[in-house]
């Protein structure tokens, strides 16, 4: 049997859209690539930032970016594109936002290519599920507050998620179904007072944080015209955010459109098992805020 001179495909996680959060292994793969097949979210901004920083990539870049709500290039065409270029002997990087294996269809692409005889390797990326809450100073676990977290797609309505407010829930693709999801989670063990944060466009120019509760977040999101891409964080860990520390003073509501008196308040006094507000303020994480970022909480 004659071995065909196929190239290969490397699935690379680009992280949430900041070149500083691309891994070194991912960068090396980009430098070696003949062709880069890039998503819009997370991947394209990283390529643009690398170029702006003088990193020269010789690869041809094919943008298969998906706009919210519809696929610009269907998945089958992306699969076929990867195989076609690899069969032509090229080193192909499939650059995907966040991590390829977290709600990213990475494994589907890998299986398709392997079934066509193409060798595939994977370079993990920093998922938005963890890194985007971090820009708002929200850890997904914190001693005495939460010891577990669940990452879920809320693209389709969620029926139930286990756990109480000490079990952090991170929702991706959750803006369109927010009212439904908040209602479902509030009716279970978490309750309507459970804190919620929405972080829009993490690491991007439209970065913005909205803080509320399961009972108020859908109204707040509508008032503030929250948009994708966004990560929704549900649970007591939201109280640890510097944005939340300011929320009880009401500062968050001042830039909300609409009648201020109708704006829902944040949550009532913290449950006793949580650190008291003074402790939270003392240990709150320092969140570097770039001057080009719109900070929601003045």
Ligand X SMILES: C[S@@+](CC[C@H](N)C(=O)[O-])C[C@H]1O[C@@H](n2cnc3c(N)ncnc32)[C@H](O)[C@@H]1O
The residues of the shown chain that bind ligand X, judged by CB under 6 A, are 16-17, 41-42, 97-99, 102-104, 127-129, 132, 172-173, 199, 201-204, 228-231
Min separation Cβ 75 and ligand X, Å = 12
Min separation Cβ 131 and ligand X, Å = 8
Distance of CA 273 to the CA centre of its chain: 29
| Residue numbers annotated as active site | 39, 66, 173
Count of beta carbons in the 10 Å neighbourhood of residue 75: 14
Q: Which is nearer to ligand X, 16 or 26 (CB)?
A: 16
Return the closest-CA partner of residue 153 out of 134, 129, 130, 133: 129
Q: Which is nearer to ligand X, 45 or 275 (CB)?
A: 45
Tell me the C-alpha distance between 198 and 177, whole Å. 13
Q: Which is nearer to ligand X, 45 or 242 (CB)?
A: 45
Min separation Cβ 240 and ligand X, Å = 19
Tell me the C-alpha distance between 80 and 43, whole Å. 20
Q: Which is nearer to ligand X, 141 or 228 (CB)?
A: 228
Which residues does 289 contact at the CB level (< 8 Å), separation at least 6? 295
Tell me the C-alpha distance between 150 and 162, whole Å. 9
Residue listed under structure tokens 């919620």:
196
Min separation Cβ 161 and ligand X, Å = 16
């Amino acid at each position: 049997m004659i071995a065909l001179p196929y190239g290969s495909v490397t699935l690379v996680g680009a992280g949430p859209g900041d070149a500083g959060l691309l891994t070194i292994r991912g960068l090396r793969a980009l430098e070696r690539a003949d062709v880069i097949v890039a998503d819009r979210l997370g991947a394209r901004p990283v390529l643009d930032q690398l170029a702006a920083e003088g990193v020269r990539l010789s690869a041809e870049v094919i943008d298969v970016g998906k706009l919210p709500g519809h696929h610009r290039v269907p998945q089958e065409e992306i699969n076929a594109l990867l195989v076609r270029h690899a069969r032509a002997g090229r080193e192909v990087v499939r650059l995907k936002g966040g991590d390829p294996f977290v709600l990213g269809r990475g494994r589907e692409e890998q299986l398709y290519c392997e079934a066509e005889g193409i060798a595939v390797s994977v370079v993990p990326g920093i998922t938005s599920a963890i890194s985007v809450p971090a820009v708002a100073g929200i850890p997904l676990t914190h001693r005495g507050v939460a010891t577990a977290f669940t990452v879920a797609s809320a693209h389709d309505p969620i029926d139930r998620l286990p756990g109480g407010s000490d079990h952090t829930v991170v929702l991706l693709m959750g803006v369109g179904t927010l009212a439904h999801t908040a209602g479902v989670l509030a009716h279970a063990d978490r309750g309507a007072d459970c804190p919620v944060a929405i972080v829009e466009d993490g690491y991007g120019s439209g970065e913005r944080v909205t803080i509320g509760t399961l009972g108020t977040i859908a109204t707040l999101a509508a008032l503030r015209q929250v948009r994708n891409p966004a990560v929704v964080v549900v649970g007591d860990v939201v109280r640890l955010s510097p944005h939340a520390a300011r929320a009880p003073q009401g500062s968050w509501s001042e830039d909300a459109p609409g009648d201020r008196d109708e704006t829902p308040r944040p949550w009532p006094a913290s449950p006793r098992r949580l650190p008291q507000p003074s402790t939270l303020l003392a240990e709150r994480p320092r969140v570097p805020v770039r001057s080009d970022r719109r900070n929601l909480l003045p």
